[in-house]
Copies of this chain bind each other. A is one copy, B any other.
């Protein structure tokens, strides 16, 4: 017999409230106000089957990714995670799928101290919508509009691997499950510790979800500035090593889904930012500079074509 809605929630999602004053099971969850006049950071991402993940993707990965992309937005704001709500439309109740999905979701929730506060389940085409709440002292938030002319442009980790895995999957030749690029696509890591560390070091930040050029474009637009990027400095993921220069550019500059942090900071912060590499075990690479000339210029072997052709991912383009 199929599980009912309430039993489904109880069995796969209900957990004892930790930081929440009141968790799953009432009209609303209750959350104590943040301490020391921090502001709340709120973000929402919706994942649709066959658009943001493939129907046959491992359910635990889908659960992980649905939360990770929201945590990445908190990281890009310099916010510490507090909790999240989950809205879930399911075509049918598949207990094995739900068990794995919730395990992947709740493992990441637990690892990042981001508590499941409540949610909604309904029947419908497989869709996952998560709203995550974090906290950040308002003056320390890493806003997109806070870049300054002369700032260095930095990016964490490496770029292009997730886009490679997406490309191969869409072309009907999916990478093996254990391939590092496939892991980057299916199990992105939100750069939460980096976001917290950047509160006192960076001006602006954004997570690379649409593609480096597109996301840098958002920072430049909001800050009413431009940028210059040195293609030779861009940390292209090792899994792209065998590809042509054009493919590497396309994937690393315009491919999305890497969920690295792109941020800007005063040149006087270089040493402090480089020191984060050892402290966090995460590469941070200086790839260019913010300028008061509008537009994004890429230098290093002919990258212009890529930039002009592809501005990053737009769900309705």
Chain A interface residues (CB < 8 Å from chain B) = 2-6, 8, 21-22, 25-34, 37-46, 48-49, 51-52, 73-74, 76-77, 79, 83, 85-90, 93, 117-125, 127, 129, 131, 133-134, 136, 138, 141-145, 205-207, 222, 314-317
A3-B316, A32-B138, A39-B32 given; A27·B76 CB < 8 A = yes
Q: Which of B32, B124, B144 contacts A25 (CB 8 A)?
A: B144
A21 and B317 within 8 A (CB): no
Chain A to chain B contacts (Cβ below 8 Å), 18 pairs: A4-B317, A22-B143, A27-B205, A28-B42, A30-B138, A31-B41, A42-B85, A42-B131, A43-B85, A44-B118, A44-B119, A44-B129, A46-B124, A48-B89, A49-B124, A121-B315, A127-B127, A127-B129
Query: Which one of B22, B43, B85, B133 contacts A27 once the chains associate, using CB atoms below 8 Å?
Result: B43
* Identical copies of this chain, number: 2
| Pairs A-B, 7 closest by C-beta atoms | A48-B124, A129-B129, A46-B87, A131-B131, A28-B41, A27-B76, A44-B85
B32 lies within 8 A of A93 (CB): no
Q: Is the CB of B85 within 8 A of A127?
A: no
B46 lies within 8 A of A120 (CB) = yes
Report Cα–Cα, A121/B44, bound state, in Å.
Answer: 10
How many Å lie between the Cα of A85 and that of B21 in the bound state?
Answer: 22
**Contact, CB under 8 Å: B89 / A46:** yes
CB pair A30–B40 under 8 Å, yes or no, is yes
Are A87 and B44 in contact (CB-based, < 8 A)? yes
CA distance A8 to B41 in the complex (A): 23
Cβ contacts under 8 Å, A222 to chain B = 25-26
Given contacts A73-B27, A93-B316, contact A118 B43 (CB under 8 A): yes
- Given A30-B39, A30-B42, A44-B129, list of 6 further CB < 8 A pairs? A21-B39, A28-B77, A30-B136, A31-B39, A48-B89, A127-B129
Assembled-state Cα–Cα distance A86/B131 (Å):
9
